[in-house]
Structure 1
Amino acid sequence: MVFLKFILFAAIAATVFAGSSTTVAPATPRWSWPVSPKPAVLRAFDPPEKPWLSGHRGVDLQTAPDGGMVTAPADGVVTFAGVVVDRPVITIDHGEGLRSSFEPVSSDLQEGDHVVRGQLVGSIESGHCGEAACVHWGVRRGDDYINPLGFLEDLRPSILLPPD
């Protein structure tokens, strides 16, 4: 019976954290919020069913009206810091095939720079969420987008199970 409860919990957690993606976050979360204080999620993770379809491949986090700063959610190495189309982006490789990216975030860091969890990586510019101040945070494992919120320590769901 305990084993069945564990299987049920794992299935629910995988659905909550991964959305419709088949790739899930690690069993032991180890990342921190990239903005402070803990932000509201303005737009949730909503991956497309197929890679070429529209969807939302990350989360939009509310920030202070003046923008604010972004910190590394986990240790890693900067793999990109520059402009994509018309907005500044920074990407960090966290190892194990995981990369996080933030936009619109300008940074003085360069490709190859090492960062540690909580280290300032850039400043948020306006423009992504229209009138609202926000930052878009995306996470990929290989080529698959996964829900960044599944890596945070304070978002694990509480699930009550019936007694044995």
Structure 2
Amino acid sequence: MKPIRRITPLLLLAAALLGAAPAAPRPVEAPVPHAAWSWPLEPRPAVAHPFDPPERPWLSGHRGVDLAASAGTTVGAPAPGTVVFVGWVVDRPVVTIDHGDGLRSSFEPVDSPLAVGVEVEKEAPLGTLGSADAGHCAPAACLHWGVRRGDEYVDPLQFIEDRRPSVLLPWAGPP
């Protein structure tokens, strides 16, 4: 812990009499925010099922979001990163990207031609959404998108940069 440096009026007076200016306190560097992510599907998809984590890590819950889409839809990288997994988990194809800063995102069911170690740019195609029977939204198709920070699942939507402009709607006044 750094000591607190105070510049008191007495110290300023002493510095002025001696002809020296006291050193200004160094600014505290703010952490660089993680760049905003884009939606992994275009156009912007409807959220079929929101993030709903369990109260305890070992309990059941929904550790990601489900985005409505049709089978065969192209799935893009929401942020740059490195492909760290492409393969099957239980009964569906999964792609996982390491975005750095402890963040990893996974997408399922996604049929992908990519190999582990491939660097992807933001919005680069990862593959295509698999059939409805390969996902947990059956009979409808959806993309399950999960994000982990270390071992903790977090809401993927918190990273999205919403590109729609703000619009003021007419107000009819109080009811």
TM-score bin, normalised by smaller chain:
0.7 to 0.9
Q: Which moved more, 1:120-129 or 1:27-36?
A: 27-36
Instruction: State the partner residue of 2:38.
Output: 32
1:111 equivalent in alignment to 2:116: yes
- State how far apart, in whole Å, the 2-side matches of 1:132 and 1:70 are: 17
Contact 1:107/1:122 (<8 A) preserved? yes
Q: Which amino acid aligns with 2:158?
A: G
1:154 equivalent in alignment to 2:162: yes
Contact 1:67/1:133 (<8 A) preserved? no
What is the Cα deviation at residue 153 of structure 1?
A: 1.1
Contact 1:29/1:152 (<8 A) preserved? no
- State how far apart, in whole Å, the 2-side matches of 1:83 and 1:147 are: 23
- State how far apart, in whole Å, the 2-side matches of 1:146 and 1:131 are: 26
Contact 1:77/1:93 (<8 A) preserved? yes
Instruction: State the partner residue of 1:11.
Output: none
- State how far apart, in whole Å, the 1-side matches of 2:84 and 2:34 are: 25
Greater fraction of residues in helix: 1
Instruction: State the partner residue of 2:150.
Output: 142
1:41 equivalent in alignment to 2:47: yes
- State how far apart, in whole Å, the 2-side matches of 1:81 and 1:143 are: 19
Q: 1:67-109 deviations in whole A, cap 9, x for unaligned?
A: 3110000000000000011110000000000000000001111
TM-score (normalizing by structure 2): 0.71
What is the Cα deviation at residue 28 of structure 1?
A: 5.7
Instruction: State the partner residue of 2:17.
Output: none
3-state SS, counterpart of residue 132 of structure 1: coil
Aligned alpha-carbon RMSD (Å): 1.9
- State how far apart, in whole Å, the 2-side matches of 1:104 and 1:28 are: 26
Q: Between the two proteins, what is the percent identity of the paired residues?
A: 60
Instruction: State the partner residue of 2:69.
Output: 63
Unmatched segments (≥5 aa) in structure 2: 1-31, 167-175
Structure with bigger RCO (C-alpha 8 Å, 6+ apart):
1
Larger Rg: 2
What is the Cα deviation at residue 27 of structure 1?
A: 5.5
Instruction: State the partner residue of 1:50.
Output: 56
Instruction: Point out 4+ residue stretches in structure 1 off by more than 2 angstroms.
Output: 26-29
Q: Which amino acid aligns with 1:70?
A: V
